[in-house]
Amino acid sequence: MIEEEKLRNLPFFQNLPDELIQSINNAAIFRSYIPGKIIINKGLPNQSAFMIIKGNVNVFCTSFQGRAFVLTKLGPGDWFNTITCKNLEEYNPANVQALTPVKCLILPCKRFHKLFDEEPLFAIKVLENISSRLPKITRKLERMALLSVSGRIANFLIEHADDDGIIYWRCTQNDIANRIGTVAEVVGRNLRQFMDEGLIIMPEKNCIVIHDIEGLKNKALS
């Protein structure tokens, strides 16, 4: 059990009645995970629904060749493995890995079902949480299907840049590759090409500065 005041700070719990927050808190198990820890494994028996209290995770699948593809990144207040629980599916459909120190609220499937069926407001909030992520996932799948690798990398840079056009990405080219469905060597080759064309500058490790935003936007359409 966790202090209910801490739960109220998360968007999911805002505007929920105290009685419902207490019911969720009483039914939940809370666990912490170190960076890199696999929280759930694809193909293993489905047991619980999770909500992130603190930290960030990657939801990903792995090909038979061992290449990972990140489906989405989740953060505080996001639920995962909920539909699997609700539909009584036997196995987990994807892997989930902690990117940072993570704390999760965990509801075993029977407890999740009870709250979902008996507390309409809980069910609505869970469905809202899931549906709010669908447009982003849809756009990602569209890019995978319609854009070249160069276009996907350009989109990634534009999306992760701050207002000054700076991306400080604390990860490897392999991490970027996993997010856009390619391999690290291709990411590196395209970044070097972007530099040669004057679109970006890489003044130091893990730092990218967009030098020609319009040129990069044209790349993002290719």
pLDDT tens-digit series, residues 126-156: 999 999 888 887 777 777 767 788 888 888 8
Are the folds of 4-132 and 143-220 the same?
no
Instruction: Give the alpha-carbon dihedral of 147, 149, 155, 156, to 10 degrees.
Output: 140
Q: Is residue 95 over pLDDT 90?
A: yes
Q: Is residue 57 over pLDDT 80?
A: yes
Task: Look at strands 102-108 and 57-62 and give their pairing.
Answer: unpaired
On whether the CB atoms of residues 25 and 1 are closer than 8 A, the answer is: yes
pLDDT at 171: 65
- What is the residue whose two structure tokens read 């000054």? 164
Level-2 CATH architecture, domain 143-220: Orthogonal Bundle (1.10)
> Residue 77: which of 12, 152, 162 has the closest Cα?
12
Query: Interhelix angle for 184-196 vs 149-160, to 10°?
Result: 80
Q: What is the pTM of this model?
A: 0.70
Task: Look at strands 48-54 and 102-108 and give their pairing.
Answer: antiparallel
Q: What is the C-alpha separation between 222 and 213, in angstroms, rounded?
A: 15
Q: Is residue 98 over pLDDT 80?
A: yes
- Token pair of 201, please? 């500058």
pLDDT more than 90, % of the chain = 43
- What is the residue whose two structure tokens read 């990602």? 140
Structural domain spans, the chain: 4-132, 143-220
pLDDT tens, residue by residue, 12-36? 998 899 999 999 999 999 999 999 9
Q: What is the C-alpha separation between 165 and 86, in angstroms, rounded?
A: 42
CA 2 to chain CA centroid, Å, is: 24
CATH code for the part of the protein at 4-132:
2.60.120.10
Confidence of residue 1 (pLDDT cuts 50, 70, 90): low
Q: What is the C-alpha separation between 209 and 198, in angstroms, rounded?
A: 11
Contacts of 144 (CB under 8 A, 6+ apart): 152, 180, 181
Q: Phi/psi of residue 94, each to 5°?
A: -155, 165
On whether the CB atoms of residues 71 and 134 are closer than 8 A, the answer is: no
